[in-house]
Structure 1
Amino acid sequence: MAIKPLRKAVFPVGGLGTRFLPATKAVPKEMLPVVDRPLIQYAVDEAIEAGIEQMIFVTGRGKSAIEDHFDIAYELEATMSARGKSLKLLEQTRLAPGAVAYVRQQEPMGLGHAVWCARDIIGDEPFAVLLADDFMVGEPGCLKQMVAAYEKTGGNIICAQEVPDDMTHMYGVITPGTRDGALTEVKGLVEKPAAGTSPSNLAVIGRYILQPEVMRILETQGKGAGGEIQLTDAMARMIGDQPFHGLTFQGKRYDCGDKAGYMTANLAVALTRPEIAETVRIFAVDLLK
């Protein structure tokens, strides 16, 4: 069977961001900047690099800033043009008409439910899911690495990362089969296994390439860990019916859903920017003395 091309990506951005309160009381957590670009911008750029043509944002109440960010800001652009300032940075945030869609998740019922909310736009096509909280830095980008694997294997691909044994209870974890370099056959998935019961230390990270059949499973999916509709549970039910692999990402991940991870990401990215790197480095060295 021919492998269908990957054209669409879902960005679940309806979460409340309670771990970053009060900063996220009025600002979506996905709009928190890493140096000078919001987290969601990095995720969208990663999707564009991987060849994604349509971005589907599953939003919630109070998330209009995300829509505004990817729209034309007429007043701002007109003012900057009149002052002779370049619009290059703003042009990078525009998504062309037809390249973006917004769906409302009316209540926070979990990642699986958020993905299911995009079912009518996905239709009968494979699609990617990107969680902006997982800030991925690599060359090529994480999703592009996954697409290269998908074009060889078809089926479903999830991003995997080795985590310490004492942290497996915080993640969905892969039951591994045969391994071929960075690619691992997925024999099973367990969401947040109890301490000492994890089938491996390969954790599922926030990038997925999924077949549309997962939507039909989510249609009747009951609540799982945390009282939410878990995407991991739905994916587990497809194992054995379709090819299913985990790809270990060659790069660096920063957990920007966590305050320490978010601050680490800012420092790491700042040190790659020529215009500020030296100042930040001198400050950091002096501070750590």
Structure 2
Amino acid sequence: MTILESIILAIVEGLTEFLPVSSTGHMILTEGILGMESTAYLKAFTVMIQFGAILSVVIFYFRRFLPFPILGFHPDETTSLGGWRLYALMIVGCIPAAVLGGLLNDQIDALLGNTWVVLAMLSLGGILMIYFDRIFGAKGEKRVTVTNAFIIGLFQCLAMIPGVSRSMATIFGGMQQGLTRRQAAEFSFFLAVPTMFGATLLKGYKLYKELGMQVFQENWQTLLIGNVVAFLVALLAIKFFIDFVTRYGFRAFGYYRILLSVGVAIVLLLGANISLS
């Protein structure tokens, strides 16, 4: 992997990780367009640069993550999604994905190189997004309970299928549980922190077991640059996304998913090769 390829993939990751459009799906398609070979390091890279993206959530909402005043900064007391309670809800919400992810990790990896699975899930998710945005959507904020968090965590498991989008699955789970669009989006961000941090550690450990420390020594530059770029781009994406969905909802992202999947499918059927080798 070249430094330029790592930057391109990191930009895609930062832009799409917290949008309901499937960051995994976009990176798989980007890798195919760039003609990158599907190696163990490439698959690990696409997961491990998520660390930079989740760090952007911690920085953007740092007052929510404060359990008590630190260095003159005080916890955000204007919402129930903050402090020690937020940590408890995040732990409960990530339990389903932690269990299923550990059991189905090999099966999930097998799907990562299947472009048609990604396209099908992008299109289906877009249709569902347009539909659910019309029937769900609370007008007032509610207090998120442990039960709400666990059910949203179950929705998150759907994102193990490439192309579904973790953000979309958890946002729909939140809206189905009566959260406002803003609450659902923010809890989706928070739930990503333990889930993606765990996935990063697991993928890094598996890569180390398979190829040893040498793979990190040879690729530390692309891994570092990828995380830094993903962090910076994700900061901008979070701000844009929250403002946009609060005003307009999620339907625009649904139409985008459908148009993207149809467009790429047409290109594939015309003979272009953008699948991973």
Of Structure 1 and Structure 2, the greater strand share is in: 1
Query: Do the two structures share a fold, i.e. TM-score over 0.5?
Result: no
The interval holding the TM-score normalised by the smaller chain is under 0.3
Higher RCO (Cα < 8 Å, 6 or more apart): 2
TM-score, normalisation: structure 2: 0.23
